Structure 1
Amino acid sequence: MDIEPSGNITLNFTAPTEAGNPLANPTANTTKWINYTSAIAPAGANRRITAAVNSVIPGVNIRLQAGAASGAGGGTLGTSSGQVTLTTTPITIISGIGGAYTGNGANNGHNLSISLAPGSYNNLATLANTVVVITYTITE
């Protein structure tokens, strides 16, 4: 399993231009794709992919959604769990992966949509350059 293309993404809220208005959420990043190859034993358990963050930013929800499988792959490709809010506890983002391969690179596998939204304005604080790492794991 890997994420294509490699590299970091940047998401920033935009301050309101008028007092009393909410923060403007950044546009979701949809440049990343998750690729995988899975071989399972006959009648073996299906696999799933989980995601978790290394830390939570107070007052901010980090959302992730895996799209439907597309591209050059074959076999029993997984099914998206829909949009999830990431925490430090792994959460399933793709399930039902059987014997399959997605193809390699961008435009193969599951397109990832990563976005931010305010969770609780009570907990928001100004932070600059806060790095959050998303860890993906394929497991049974």
Structure 2
Amino acid sequence: MSTPETSPDRQQLQAEIEQTRAELGATVEELAAKTDVKAQAKRTAADLSDRAKQAVSEARAKAADASGAALAAAKTQAASLQDKVAEARRDPAQRRRLDAAALLTAAVVVGGLLAVAIHRRRA
């Protein structure tokens, strides 16, 4: 026969009390966290900082891709100009036109590279 101190009902009641205490403690901790403005501000600041870092990383990657594409285009244009220069050596009028085109192309390439450099420096 069981005694009143060790009866199954009493043990079950003790277990329920302990579970209720644990749940109440968790609820109190959640409420305390919601009212902790400083901690919330820190979490928000950390989240925004992470987002900003990710945006900068993506922008740098895009700038690197764009500069690589610009360099490839410049190389292609330079090769084309070399071919035209070889042809122009035979014709002085064509040579003057190619000199002007080469100067313009060089100015565009330098301007593009400067724009990429400025963009990278700002990022």
Q: TM-score normalised by the shorter chain: which range applies?
A: under 0.3
The two structures have a TM-score, normalised by structure 2, of 0.19
Structure with the bigger percentage of strand = 1
Q: In proportion to residue count, which structure has more helix? A: 2
Q: Which has the higher contact order (CA 8 A, sep 6+)?
A: 1
Question: Which entry has the higher C-alpha Rg, 1 or 2?
Answer: 2
